[in-house]
């Protein structure tokens, strides 16, 4: 038996099989037929060419929950089915009476109303002259299989709905975040413009310089924010990409050349990246401000590496170097204070010394809790 084959192999089409069958069945045809009918769990029916039901096997009566065959005897077979399937059944009967086999899957409740799905084969029964005399219909109960398939389809549909809802929420968040980004940028720009206006009013005096300084710091803060490119779909950002873009932006704004050494690929939370951005912005600003030699812009080198003690960030220049006895913790400058506050916030510390080129070298060792990465220098 090959139930899933599009067309079942016919014994009559195989002379070798036909001969064997004829020999084996000789004299016991009826007995064999009864055994097959009685032993099958499928619902097997014999249908007259006019579509009326002339026989249903015991297994069929059982699965169809029909107590007595007399209830359905001689009734049109198609009437046992829901009305919407009747055209399909009538066609199957017509096709079988013309010698063709039909297979289909359809829903039909039992006589007691129990819902059931059936896989049905309708085929011609020929007499010894090859003429179609009756129709055989075999219905297999596939309710469990269809229920499981429908459950899978339903689960897939629910999943697809959830994904679509999440996509829509993400798209909304993108728009919202873009709007927030835009507003933050505008707010930063307004504050910088206001401070610069005030600085111009106090041009030449100490208040003017302090205001100009404040404006520059806020402009840097805006750059640190702008380069974050927050993605609502991911909670972490690629630190190397962020540092590269920030260095390019700040370098461009301050007219400095910044060489970036190869950096490992590590991921970090945006808030930690923003803190690292603040530290780098201060160190780069210092290199530009204090690291130039007789009017020459300093050559600044920036490196990031993963070390046993933590994530190392180095900013060095080829300027005159740090003043004698320099202690980054001791000064009154805002830059060093900003660096050490953010460094301790990220579980680290900062050290200062001389670079290979004779300039200043700052190294910040950090242990940001959000850090994830392979640590391989790339």
Ligand X SMILES: Nc1ncnc2c1ncn2[C@@H]1O[C@H](COP(=O)(O)OP(=O)(O)OP(=O)(O)O)[C@@H](O)[C@H]1O
Q: Maximum CA pair distance of the chain?
A: 125
Taking the complex as a whole, how short is the minimal distance between the CB of residue 334 and Mg ion, in angstroms? 6
d(CA 154, CA 321): 70
**Which residue, 331 or 375, is less far from ligand X as judged by CB?**
331
Q: Does 350 bind ligand X (CB under 6 A)?
A: no
Query: How many other CB atoms sit within 10 Å of the CB of residue 206?
Result: 8
368 binds ligand X (CB under 6 A): no
Sequence-ordered list of residues with C-beta below 8 angstroms from that of 45, at least 6 positions apart, any chain = 53, 55, 56, 57, 60, 77, 136, 137, 138, 139
Q: Which is nearer to Mg ion, 214 or 236 (CB)?
A: 214
Judged by CB under 6 A, the stretch of 13-21, 185-193, 238-246, 329-337 that binds ligand X is 329-337
Positions 263 through 292 that interact with ligand X (CB under 6 A): 286-287, 289-291
Which is closer to ligand X, CB of 92 or CB of 215?
Answer: 215
Q: Is 121 helix (H, G, I), strand (E, B) or coil?
A: strand
213 lies in the binding site for ligand X (CB under 6 A):
yes
Number of residues that bind ligand X (CB under 6 A): 16
For ligand X, the closer CB: 120 or 256: 256
For the bound state, the minimum distance from the C-beta of residue 282 to ligand X, rounded and expressed in Å, comes to 6
List the structure tokens of 234. Answer: 């991911």
Q: How many CA atoms lie within 13 A of 221 on its CB side?
A: 16
CB 289, CB 256: distance < 8 Å: no
Sole window of 68-76, 143-151, 243-251, 330-338 interacting with ligand X (rule: CB under 6 A) = 330-338
Q: Does 278 participate in binding Mg ion (rule CB under 5 A)?
A: no
Q: Is position 335 an interface residue for Mg ion (rule: CB under 5 A)?
A: yes
Separation between Cα atoms, residue 105 and residue 319, nearest integer Å: 84
Is residue 286 a contact point for Mg ion (CB under 5 A)?
A: yes
Query: Cβ distance 18 to 12 under 8 Å?
Result: yes
The rounded distance, in Å, linking the Cα atoms of 376 and 276 is 20
Position among 66, 247, 322, 365 found at the interface with ligand X (CB under 6 A): 322
Cβ-based nearer residue to ligand X, 263 or 338: 338
Q: How far apart are CA 132 and CA 47, in angstroms?
A: 11
Q: Which residues bind ligand X (CB under 6 A)?
A: 213, 286-287, 289-291, 317, 319, 322-323, 331, 333-336, 360
Chain positions contacting Mg ion, by CB under 5 A: 286, 335
């Amino acid at each position: 038996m090959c139930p899933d084959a599009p067309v079942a192999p016919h014994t009559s089409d195989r002379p070798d099989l036909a001969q064997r069958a004829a020999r084996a069945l000789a004299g016991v045809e009826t007995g064999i037929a009864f055994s097959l009918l009685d032993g099958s769990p499928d619902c097997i029916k014999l249908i007259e060419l006019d579509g009326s039901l002339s026989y249903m096997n015991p297994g069929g009566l059982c699965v169809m929950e029909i107590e007595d065959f007399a209830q359905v005897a001689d009734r049109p077979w198609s009437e046992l089915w829901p009305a919407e399937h009747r055209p399909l059944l009538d066609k199957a009967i017509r096709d079988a009476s013309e010698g063709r086999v039909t297979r289909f899957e359809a829903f039909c409740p039992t006589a007691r109303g129990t819902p059931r799905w059936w896989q049905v084969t309708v085929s011609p029964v020929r007499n010894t002259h090859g003429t179609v005399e009756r129709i055989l219909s075999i219905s297999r109960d596939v309710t469990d299989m269809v229920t499981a398939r429908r459950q899978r389809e339903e689960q897939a549909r629910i999943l697809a709905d959830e994904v679509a809802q999440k996509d829509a929420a993400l798209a909304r968040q993108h728009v919202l975040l873009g709007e927030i980004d835009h507003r933050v940028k505008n707010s930063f720009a307004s504050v910088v413009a206001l401070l610069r206006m005030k600085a111009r009013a106090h041009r030449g005096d100490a208040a003017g310089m302090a205001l100009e300084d404040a404006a520059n710091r806020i402009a840097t803060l805006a750059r640190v924010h702008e380069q974050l490119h927050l993605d609502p779909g991911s909670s972490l950002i690629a630190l190397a990409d962020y540092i590269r873009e920030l260095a390019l932006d700040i370098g461009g704004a301050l007219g400095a050349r910044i060489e970036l050494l190869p950096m490992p690929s590590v991921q970090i939370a945006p808030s930690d990246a923003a803190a690292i951005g603040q530290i780098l912005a201060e160190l780069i600003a210092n290199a530009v401000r204090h690291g130039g030699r007789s009017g020459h812009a300093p050559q600044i080198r920036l490196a990031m590496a993963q070390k046993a003690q933590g994530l190392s960030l180095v900013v060095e220049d080829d300027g005159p170097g740090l003043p004698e006895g320099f202690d980054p913790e001791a000064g009154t400058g805002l830059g060093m204070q900003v660096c050490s506050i953010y460094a301790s916030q990220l579980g680290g510390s900062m050290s200062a010394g001389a670079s290979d080129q004779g300039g200043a070298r700052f190294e910040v060792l950090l242990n940001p809790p959000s850090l994830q990465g392979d640590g391989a220098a790339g």
